[in-house]
Amino acid sequence: MAVPVVDPSLNSDSAPVDSAPVETRAESTGPGAAGTGTPRRPRWRPARADLLAIGAYVLLGVLVCLNYWGDVEHRVSSHLPTDHSWFEWLFAHGAYSVQHLENPLFSLRQNAPDGVNMMANTSLLGATLPLAPVTLLFGPQVTYALYLGGALAATAATSYWMLSRHLVRSRAAAFLGGAFLGFAPGIVHHANGQPNFVSNYLLPLIVARVLLLGAAGRSWRRDGVALGLLVAYQIFINEEMLLLTALACLVVVLAYATQRPRAAWARARGFGSALGLGGALALLLTAYPIWFQFNGPQSYRGLQGGVFHNWGEDLVAFVTFARDTVAGDEAVEKTIGLTEQNTWFGWPLVLVALVALALLVRRSLAARIVAVLLVVFTVASIGPVVRFDGAETTIDGPWAYIPDDLPLVEMMMPTRLALVVAAAVGVLLALAWDALARTAPNGVAPAGTTAGAAKAGTAGRAGRWLRPVGYAALALAVLPLVPRPLPAERIDPPPHFITSGGWRPYVPAGRTLVPVPIPSNVHGLPTLRWSALTGHEFPIPGGYFIGPNPDGEGVFGAPNRPISTLIYSTMDTGTVPPLTEENRRQAAEDLRYWKASVVVLGAHPREAVLRELMTALLGPPQRVDDVWLWRV
């Protein structure tokens, strides 16, 4: 299958060469459509520029993860340490599922005895299962760091491929756009413990495939199958980013159809056929996992209270430098960065983007579509209330008029719609650089111009200053956004009793090991890692996940039982509360519910008071290796 290439006829004198629209051969109704003799680019023959671009992206990925590699086994994100540990646990889950040939859609190794619905959580199965051999060989900490940097670089690389093959001529323009799409401030922010939001390497391929549907000379069956396979696999990586991409594609298709109705109508039949085939194939391949997600054990319907709906993007965030960039400052997080940093472009990039749009939007179809994306998703990301400089205003945002219980919408976070804005800005940067690259320098008219030579000559004279000024402006806008290594903190290793297998005689098959503190969304980060770093060899109660409450709504973590509530309150206050026989009876009932065989307390800042509490509840402990142990 030939890869569509940029239409060379669009560089003729039919449009000003400094801002001519760049379109692909997918627009079969325009000049240079299939069958006109346009040369085809070889499918798999990367040029030196391609290899250099990919190499640069890999180096950037290594840079972002540099602090982890300093002590990869004991360092986690200092921004989201619990999320970091959760994803280490997920890599261990993938390895455990492959090693034991168990259903990866569900796990009993956390939240015992009820388990966790992995499809109803951010399980990243599309990565954890293929990387199981790496995890089994080197451990989940190494796999996490490798994957995080690799996902960032891979997203930049596929974005570069999409831009260079389908949208722009200049490889430098494609490199700039790909670098921004892979390492935008909002994406790097999510790299702090949330690798599922940097795993966007399939999304540029999905977008390119959607834009090719129905083009003349293409097989709608082949395109539909390719789209279906890509969408099906993306479901096992990140459904939320797939939904955002689908919404963006919908806006793009509508914007294109509005501006080119005849071309859209000519492609409508093939587009619809291919889209239907792709959707049917994706549904066929993922029907059971999706059913399991919403109807399997430990599934839920919506989040309790629609907690995400109030998380909108602060207007000042658009012109602020993100913390993890060379121009960023940690202090700003205490004001407007209380939720997520999904834009944070800095004022130079915002100004350059506005100027680029003003210059390109009248002449470039792609720029007009980008403008629509920017407006639609910027407004949509504001949320139910307009926020400005860290404070809520009295102005309603668009989400104030959207019911919280709409399907799919009930799970969405408004601020994350700004990730589409970041993607549109990346495409705009590529378009702007490409337009500058095609501006004739030194007053020389571009090759191929005849009737429009005078106009082209004028453009060329302008190019004497336009190109260097434009390049400098783009460089000054993006250089402050170069990412810095992610901040990391050291976490103590698990007890030797755990890592050496000393627990084995105490935990027979079908029973659980109860770590103190019991893992939750607030407490127990170190003890959650016990499970991950031992390859899930023993199940544990509690955990870090989303599961159902008694009403079927999603809540964070397992419902607190009396003994876990006592443990958490003791940790918070630093003192043991007065205990009664009822407390001891409830503790024994909780341990029976968890099918516990042993309770283990390792080194902990609150070790003394926790040992006092557990002794009052369960009796004197045993000192085994480097832990306190209660056999139950």
- Distance between start and end Cα atoms, the chain: 65
In this prediction, residues 134-157 reach a mean pLDDT of 97
Side-chain half-sphere exposure of 195, counting CA atoms within 13 A: 34
**Rounded Cα gap, residues 360 and 362, in angstroms:** 6
pLDDT-derived band at 307, boundaries 50, 70, 90: low
Going by C-alpha positions, the residue among 77, 307, 328 that lies closest to residue 193 is 77
Lowest mean pLDDT, pick from 41-55, 118-132, 181-195, 550-564: 41-55
- Residue 384: both structure tokens together: 């139910």
Residue 507 has pLDDT above 60, yes or no: yes
Structure tokens at 100: 């034991």
Cβ neighbors of 398 (< 8 A, separation 6 or more) are 379, 380, 382, 383
**In this structure, which amino acid lies at residue 530?**
W
Pull the structure tokens for residue 243. Answer: 């939904």
- Give the separation between CA 549 and CA 112, rounded to whole angstroms: 16
How many Cα atoms occupy the beta-carbon half-sphere of 224 within 13 Å? 18
If you average pLDDT over residues 569-580, what whole number do you get? 92
**Which is nearest to 7 in space by CA: 42, 32, 43, 41?**
32
d(CA 525, CA 14): 63
Contact of 477 with 348, CB cutoff 8 Å: yes
Burial class (CB in 10 A: 0-12, 13-18, 19+), 569: middle
Q: Quick one: pLDDT at residue 420?
A: 97
Residue 234's H or E segment, with its range, is helix 220-235
Token pair, residue 123, equals 């399980």
The residue type at 106? F
Tokens of 542: 């509690």
Residues 185-201 have a mean pLDDT of: 95
| Residue from 440, 22, 24 nearest 448 by CA | 440
For the chain, what is the radius of gyration of the CA atoms?
A: 27
Helix (H) or strand (E) holding 183: helix 171-183
- Report the C-alpha gap between 566 and 580 in whole angstroms: 12
- How much is the average pLDDT of 47-64? 95
Model confidence over 442-460: pLDDT tens digits?
544 444 433 344 444 545 5
| Helix (H) / strand (E) containing 558 | none
- Beta bridge partner(s), residue 184: none
Whether the Cβ atoms of residue 413 and residue 380 lie closer than 8 Å to each other: no
Q: According to the model, what pLDDT value does residue 7 have?
A: 37
Q: Where does the pLDDT of residue 216 fall: very low under 50, low under 70, confident under 90, or very high at 90 and above?
A: confident
- DSSP characters over 408-424: TGGG--GGGGHHHHHHH
Among positive and negative, which fits the CA dihedral 427, 432, 435, 437? negative
In angstroms, the CA 81 to CA 292 distance is: 29
37 pLDDT above the threshold of 70: no
User: What's the mean per-residue pLDDT of the chain?
Assistant: 87
What's the average model confidence in pLDDT over 489-504? 93
Measured between alpha carbons, how far is 382 from 285 in angstroms, rounded to an integer?
A: 35
- Condensed to tens digits (0 to 9), the pLDDT of residues 130-141 reads 999 999 999 999
Q: Name the percent of the chain lying above pLDDT 90.
A: 72
Weakest-pLDDT range from 164-173, 337-346, 402-411, 514-523: 402-411
Distance CA 512, CA 562 (A): 18
Specify the DSSP class assigned to residue 215: -
Distance CA 379, CA 511 (A): 52
- 395 phi and psi angles, rounded to 5 deg: -95, 130
Token pair in block for residue 168:
């722009």
What is 33-98 written as a DSSP string? -TTS-PPPBPSS---HHHHHHHHHHHHHHHHHTHHHHTTTTTEEESSSHHHHHHHHHHHHHHHHHH
E-only strand ranges, 500-609? 512-516, 546-548, 554-556, 596-601
Q: Of 290, 254, 292, whose CA–CA distance to 271 is shortest?
A: 254
Contact assessment for residue 160 and residue 53, using Cβ atoms and an 8 Å cutoff: yes
